[in-house]
Structure 1
Amino acid sequence: MNIQQLEYIVAVDNHRHFVQAAEHCNVTQPTLSMMIRKLEEELGIKIFDRTKQPIVPTGIGRQIIDQAKTILRESGRLNEIARHFNGDLSGELRIGIIPTIAPYLLPHFVQPFIRNYPDIRLHVSEMITERIISELKLGNLDAGIVASVSEDNALQEIPLYKERFYAYVSKDTGLFNKQYILPTDIEPNELWLLEEGHCFRTQIQKLCELSRNSEFGSSFQYRSGSIETLMRMVDKNGGITILPELAVMELSEDRKTFIRSFRFPEPTREICLAVNREQIKTRLIDALKTGILEFVPKADS
Structure 2
Amino acid sequence: MTLTQLSYIVAVDKHRHFATAAKKIYITQPTLSMQIQKLEDELGVLIFDRSKSPVVPTAMGEEIIKQAKEILSGAKHIEDMVAVQGENLRGSFRVGIIPTIAPYLVPLFLKPFVDAYPEVELVFEEALTAEVLKGLNEDYYDVGIIATPTDQHIFEKDLFLEPFLAYVHPEHKLAKKDKVCVDDLYNEDLWLLNEGHCFRDQTMKICKQNNEKRNKAPIIFESGNLETLKRLVEQDFGVTLMPYLAMDDHDTRCANGVVKEFEDPVPSRKIRLVYSREFLKKNLIDAFAEVIVDSIPKELESQEEKMVIE
TM-score bracket, shorter-length normalisation: 0.7 to 0.9
Counterpart in the other structure of 2:39: 35
Contact 1:105–1:246, Cα closer than 8 Å, also in 2: yes
The SS at the match of 1:121 is strand
Matched, 1:185 2:184: yes
Query: Hey, what's the Cα distance between the residues in 2 that align with 1:3 and 1:80?
Result: 16
Query: Hey, what's the Cα distance between the residues in 2 that align with 1:171 and 1:35?
Result: 61
Q: TM-score, normalization: structure 1?
A: 0.75
The SS at the match of 1:125 is strand
Query: Hey, what's the Cα distance between the residues in 2 that align with 1:200 and 1:280?
Result: 30
Please show how residues 158-173 of structure 1 align to structure 2 within 5 Å: 158-173=157-172
The verdict on how the C-alpha distance between 1:169 and 1:139 changes in structure 2, with shifts beyond 3 A counting, is same
Amino acid at match of 2:241: I
The equivalent position to 2:219 in structure 1, one of 197, 211, 215, is 215
The verdict on how the C-alpha distance between 1:25 and 1:276 changes in structure 2, with shifts beyond 3 A counting, is farther
The alpha-carbon deviation at position 203 of structure 1 amounts to: 1.0
The verdict on how the C-alpha distance between 1:198 and 1:3 changes in structure 2, with shifts beyond 3 A counting, is closer
State percent identity of aligned pairs: 33
Query: Hey, what's the Cα distance between the residues in 2 that align with 1:52 and 1:276?
Result: 36
Q: TM-score, normalization: structure 2?
A: 0.73
The verdict on how the C-alpha distance between 1:195 and 1:37 changes in structure 2, with shifts beyond 3 A counting, is same
Q: RMSD across aligned C-alpha pairs, in angstroms?
A: 3.7
The verdict on how the C-alpha distance between 1:137 and 1:36 changes in structure 2, with shifts beyond 3 A counting, is farther
The alpha-carbon deviation at position 258 of structure 1 amounts to: 3.8
The alpha-carbon deviation at position 73 of structure 1 amounts to: 1.9
Query: Hey, what's the Cα distance between the residues in 2 that align with 1:124 and 1:7?
Result: 18
Counterpart in the other structure of 1:146: 146
In structure 1, the gaps of 5 or more residues are: none
The alpha-carbon deviation at position 272 of structure 1 amounts to: 1.5
Amino acid at match of 2:166: A
Counterpart in the other structure of 1:200: 199
Q: Deviations over 1:109-149 (max 9, x none)?
A: 11222111111222323344344344445554433322125
Counterpart in the other structure of 2:91: 91
Contact 1:172–1:239, Cα closer than 8 Å, also in 2: no
Amino acid at match of 1:117: Y
Counterpart in the other structure of 2:57: 56
The SS at the match of 1:89 is coil
Query: Hey, what's the Cα distance between the residues in 1 that align with 2:268 and 2:276?
Result: 25
Contact 1:98–1:129, Cα closer than 8 Å, also in 2: yes
Contact 2:162–2:244, Cα closer than 8 Å, also in 1: yes
The SS at the match of 1:208 is helix
The SS at the match of 1:158 is strand
The SS at the match of 2:260 is strand
Aligned length: 287
In structure 2, the gaps of 5 or more residues are: 305-310
Counterpart in the other structure of 2:307: none
Amino acid at match of 1:166: L
The alpha-carbon deviation at position 271 of structure 1 amounts to: 1.0
Query: Hey, what's the Cα distance between the residues in 2 that align with 1:28 and 1:242?
Result: 42
